Structure 1
Amino acid sequence: MIYHNHQNSHRPSQSSLTIVIKVGTTTICDEKTHYPMLSNLSSLVELVLKLKSQGHRVVLVSSAAVATGLRRLNINDRPTKVSTLQAISAVGQGRLIRLYDDLFGQFNQPIAQVLLTKNDLSERAQYLNAVSCLEEILELGVVPIVNENDTICPQEIRFGDNDTLSAITAGMLKADYLFLLTDVDCLYTDNPRTNPDAKNVSVCHDIQALQEQVCVASRGSSLGTGGMSTKLVAADLATAVGVRTVITHGAKPENLMKIIEADDNGTLITPHELPVVTGDDLLARGLPLHTLFTAKDNLLYDRKWWIKHGLHTAGRVYIDEGAMKAILSKKQRSSLFAAGIVEVEKNFVANQAVMIVYQRKDENGHVVEEIDVGKGIVNYSSVEIGRIRGCQSHDIFDILGYMDAETVIDRDNLVRILEDSIV
Structure 2
Amino acid sequence: MIHKNQQNNHRPNKTSLTIVVKVGTTSICDEETHFPLLSNLSLLVESVLKLKQNGHRVVIVTSAAVGTGLRRLNMAEKPSKLAARQAVAAVGQGRLMALYDDLFGQFHQPVAQLLLTKNDLADRSQYLNAVSCLEELLDMSVVPIVNENDTISTQGIRFGDNDTLSAITAGMIKADYLFLLTDVDCLYTDNPRTNPDAKPVDICDDISALRSKVSISTSGSSLGTGGMETKLVAADLATAAGVTTIITHGAKPFNMLKIIQGDAITDNADQKKHDIPLNTRFVAKNNPLLDHKWWILHGLHTAGVIVVDDGAARAVTSTLRSSLFAAGIVEVKGSFVAQQAVQIVVRKTINGKLTDMVIGKGLVNYTSIEISRIKRCKSHEIADVLGYVDAECVINRDNLVRVVNDA
TM-score by length of 1: 0.92
Structure 1 residues 5 and 218, CA gap change in structure 2 (3 angstroms)? closer
- Amino acid in structure 2 at the alignment position of 1:335: S
Does 2:327 align with 1:339?
A: yes
Instruction: Please give the residue correspondences for 1:367-406 in structure 2 after superposition, counting only pairs within 5 Å.
Output: 368-406=354-392
- 1:76-117 per-position Cα deviation (integer Å, ceiling 9, x unaligned): 111222111111111110111011111111111111000001
Q: Distance in 2 between matches of 1:248 and 1:181?
A: 5
Q: Distance in 1 between matches of 2:365 and 2:5?
A: 42
Partner of 1:122: 122
Provide the secondary structure at the position in 1 that maps to 2:191.
Answer: coil
Structure 1 residues 411 and 6, CA gap change in structure 2 (3 angstroms)? farther
Instruction: Please give the residue correspondences for 1:137-286 in structure 2 after superposition, counting only pairs within 5 Å.
Output: 137-266=137-266, 285-286=274-275
Deviation at 1:5, TM superposition (A): 11
Residue 349 of structure 1, aligned match among 327, 334, 337: 337
Structure 1 residues 4 and 407, CA gap change in structure 2 (3 angstroms)? farther
Q: Distance in 2 between matches of 1:241 and 1:163?
A: 15
Does 2:313 align with 1:324?
A: yes
Provide the secondary structure at the position in 2 that maps to 1:188.
Answer: coil
Provide the secondary structure at the position in 1 that maps to 2:2.
Answer: coil
Residue 294 of structure 1, aligned match among 275, 280, 283: 283
Deviation at 1:385, TM superposition (A): 0.7
Deviation at 1:13, TM superposition (A): 2.1
Structure 1 residues 302 and 5, CA gap change in structure 2 (3 angstroms)? farther
Any gaps of 5 or more consecutive residues in structure 1? Answer: 272-280
Deviation at 1:390, TM superposition (A): 1.1
Q: Is the 8 A contact 1:14 1:260 kept in 2?
A: no
- 1:178-205 per-position Cα deviation (integer Å, ceiling 9, x unaligned): 0000000000011111111111001111
- Amino acid in structure 1 at the alignment position of 2:333: E
Deviation at 1:33, TM superposition (A): 0.5
Structure 1 residues 201 and 267, CA gap change in structure 2 (3 angstroms)? farther
Deviation at 1:362, TM superposition (A): 8.5
- Amino acid in structure 1 at the alignment position of 2:316: I
- 1:107-133 per-position Cα deviation (integer Å, ceiling 9, x unaligned): 111110000011111111111111000
Partner of 2:303: 314
Provide the secondary structure at the position in 1 that maps to 2:129.
Answer: helix
RMSD over aligned Cα atoms: 2.0
Q: Is the 8 A contact 1:177 1:246 kept in 2?
A: yes
- Amino acid in structure 2 at the alignment position of 1:231: K
Q: Distance in 2 between matches of 1:266 and 1:12?
A: 12
Q: Is the 8 A contact 2:57 2:138 kept in 1?
A: yes
Provide the secondary structure at the position in 2 that maps to 1:373.
Answer: strand
How many residues are matched?
407
Deviation at 1:286, TM superposition (A): 2.7
Partner of 2:136: 136
Q: Distance in 2 between matches of 1:396 and 1:7?
A: 54
Any gaps of 5 or more consecutive residues in structure 2? Answer: none
Residue 407 of structure 1, aligned match among 393, 401, 407: 393
Counting aligned pairs with the same residue, the percent is 67
- 1:292-341 per-position Cα deviation (integer Å, ceiling 9, x unaligned): 111112321111111111111111111111111111122x3111111111
Q: Distance in 2 between matches of 1:5 and 1:341?
A: 47
